């Protein structure tokens, strides 16, 4: 099939791979971007992990909890330009939306926009802001967690938000540790809390990539599955939160760091949301 220059450039933006490699990957996979990324990995191309959600080109991400740390939300209020995204009034509006979500606990972004903020619905407020600012503005992402000990974190001037649910009752020490874990999540982008949280599709995908890499390296066929399993174990270590090296002390895993703070302290779940 014919692959456009725009499609090639999009894949290059997503992966950091060379133009010709991107064109070949798309051509070999009928324009399927996910398959093209796997193709590049199997071929051993050095690619960057730039597969974040790109729905919100500009905007503000707010991660916030109630005072008890029992309800937490992450919202993305999108806009078209960096100028608007950094405006104090725009960021304040994003916080107002987050506070409304915490107070009413809607299940979806659509339910959130149906709530009243001030004297009108949030949907109407958004339209008012569009008319005032002259840019498209919307709540494009919304996540909510309820638990006994939630820790929020906003990274990079409202470019990313993280929520972490800890297992133990709140304390000064474990909340500080939760902030460190949230920063770890922001930096390292784990796919799951632990290996048990990795879905079967991802596991099979990593095994297949490992097999193909081994074949590309000329390894004996009898060793292919064993090598792929070894690469899967490395994936667990690098890509699941509790098994990652703690960024502030690489001699410990995140799990070990948490255990050193309080007995039984661990992460139950997390949400990580960023601008594209």
267-274 and 138-146 beta bridge pairing: unpaired
pTM > 0.85: no
Q: How many other C-beta atoms lie within 10 A of the C-beta of residue 182?
A: 24
Query: Could you tell me which residues come within 8 angstroms of residue 154 by beta carbon, excluding any fewer than 6 positions away?
Result: 61, 62, 63, 160, 161, 162
pLDDT tens readout for residues 117-161: 778 899 888 888 877 787 888 999 999 999 999 999 999 889 999
Domain boundaries, the chain: 1-51, 58-193+268-274
Confidence of residue 46 (pLDDT cuts 50, 70, 90): low
Query: What does the mean pLDDT of the chain come to?
Result: 90
Confidence of residue 104 (pLDDT cuts 50, 70, 90): very high
- Note the residue count of the chain: 276
Question: If one looks up domain 1-51 in CATH, what number appears?
Answer: 1.10.8.10
Closest among 86, 70, 81, 89 to 129, alpha carbons compared: 89
In this predicted structure, which of 9-23, 109-123, 177-191 has the lowest mean pLDDT?
Answer: 9-23
CATH of 58-193+268-274 given 3.30.479.20, 3.40.640.10, 3.40.50.20, 3.90.1640.30: 3.30.479.20
The answer to whether the 1-51 and 58-193+268-274 domains have the same CATH topology is: no
In this predicted structure, which of 99-108, 110-119, 165-174, 235-244 has the lowest mean pLDDT?
Answer: 110-119
Angle between helices 33-42 and 5-15 (to 10 degrees): 60
How far apart CA 274 and CA 157 sit, in angstroms, is 11
In this predicted structure, which of 43-47, 189-193, 269-273 has the lowest mean pLDDT?
Answer: 43-47
How far apart CA 87 and CA 74 sit, in angstroms, is 19
Give the gyration radius of the chain's Cα atoms.
21
pLDDT tens readout for residues 78-90: 998 899 999 999 9
């Amino acid at each position: 099939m014919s692959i456009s220059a725009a499609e090639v450039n999009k894949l290059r933006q997503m992966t950091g791979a060379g133009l010709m490699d991107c064109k070949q990957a798309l051509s070999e996979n009928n324009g399927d971007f996910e398959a093209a990324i796997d193709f590049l990995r199997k071929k051993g191309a050095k690619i960057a992990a730039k597969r974040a959600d790109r729905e919100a080109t500009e905007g503000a991400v707010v991660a916030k909890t109630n005072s008890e740390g029992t309800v937490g939300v992450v919202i993305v209020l999108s806009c078209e330009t960096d100028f608007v995204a950094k405006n104090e009034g725009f960021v304040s509006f994003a916080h107002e939306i987050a506070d409304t979500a915490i107070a009413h606990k809607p299940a979806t972004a659509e339910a959130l926009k149906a709530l009243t903020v001030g004297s009108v619905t949030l949907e109407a407020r958004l339209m008012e802001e569009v008319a005032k600012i002259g840019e498209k503005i919307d709540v494009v992402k919304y996540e909510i967690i309820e638990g006994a000990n939630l820790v929020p974190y906003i990274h990079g001037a409202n470019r990313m938000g993280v929520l972490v649910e800890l297992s133990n009752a709140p304390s000064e020490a474990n909340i500080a540790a939760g902030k460190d874990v949230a920063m770890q999540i922001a930096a390292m982008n784990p796919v799951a809390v632990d290996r048990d949280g990795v879905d079967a599709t991802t596991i099979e995908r990593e095994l297949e990539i490992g097999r193909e890499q081994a074949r590309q390296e000329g390894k004996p066929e009898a060793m292919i599955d064993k090598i792929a399993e070894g690469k899967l174990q490395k994936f667990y270590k690098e890509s699941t939160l509790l098994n990652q090296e703690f960024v502030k002390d690489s001699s410990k895993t995140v799990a070990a760091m948490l255990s050193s703070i309080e007995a039984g302290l661990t992460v139950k779940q997390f949400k990580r949301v960023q601008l594209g």
